[in-house]
Amino acid sequence: MSEKLGGGGRGAATGARGLPGQARARLVRWPKGRRPLAGTGATDHRVWAMKAHVAYEAAFEDFLRSRQVPYVAVDEAKRAAFRDARLKSFDFIVYSAQGPNWLVDIKGRRWAARKPGARPAWENWVTRGDLDGLRQWQDVFGAGFAGLLVFAYRLDEDRAPPAEVIHTFRGERYVFAGVPTDAYATEARTRSPKWDTVNMPTARFAEFVRPIAELL
């Protein structure tokens, strides 16, 4: 279940345990009514990308709720836990019963073939800013918290992973797969110098990635 932080309610008493004081004051649950930026054209790529990211986040949040996993969704207006922070934000704090609590950054990807007849690819690229920011947030939160890159794959093809790892949300099928940030950083290789992106070689990614349910 989700918790809202700040103020006197149940979230302040239970969901916020273990967080730095300033983080407790500045992190709140993402509101249900997600809306695009007002006054911005529908063709604006940045708005399209933001909408797409919100869709993946919403699907992941629905997955957590369906499993009754405690979490905190970071409010868009308060993405920085500290007023003067210069770090790229993350999306969720997810409380795990079997290991560290996760600072989750959602990476939405389509599970689709690049060319007709080709097998769908499990894309796993991120920007260096994504990776560096999440690793620094680990230091901010300290012991008991670790970064987790969660790749949210939207399934477009008839061929699919085993049904037990598929989550259906609003008529779309998703698979959520996680790689701890430190493991990803150790194996990451430059993908595009121009766009400052990195990825894990496919074989190594297969060794480290896990269905998200195994990490909760």
What are 1-42's pLDDT values in tens digits?
Answer: 433 322 333 333 333 334 333 333 333 333 333 333 333 333
Q: What tens digit of pLDDT does each residue of 130-185 get? A: 999 999 999 989 999 999 999 999 887 666 677 778 999 998 899 999 999 999 99
Residues 54-70: what's their mean pLDDT?
94
Token look-up 């769908």 returns 120
Structure tokens that stand for 126 in this block:
């991120």
* Calpha distance 90→135 (Å, rounded): 11
Instruction: Count the residues in the chain.
Output: 216
CB 147 within 8 A of CB 102: yes
Whose CA is closest to 81, among 90, 68, 70? 90
Which DSSP letter does residue 76 get? Answer: G
Output the furthest CA–CA distance in the chain (Å, rounded). 57
What is the dihedral sign for C-alpha 31, 33, 39, 41?
Answer: positive
Enter the pTM of the model. 0.72
Strands (E) across 71-171 are located at 71-73, 92-94, 101-111, 126-127, 145-155, 166-169
Q: Taking CA 90 as the corner, what is the angle to CA 85 and CA 92, rounded to the nearest 5 degrees?
A: 125
CB 216 within 8 A of CB 98: yes
Domain covering 10-215 assigned CATH 3.40.1350.10 in the classification: yes
- pLDDT of residue 49 exceeding 80, the answer is no
Q: What tens digit of pLDDT does each residue of 115-132 get? A: 776 676 778 999 999 999
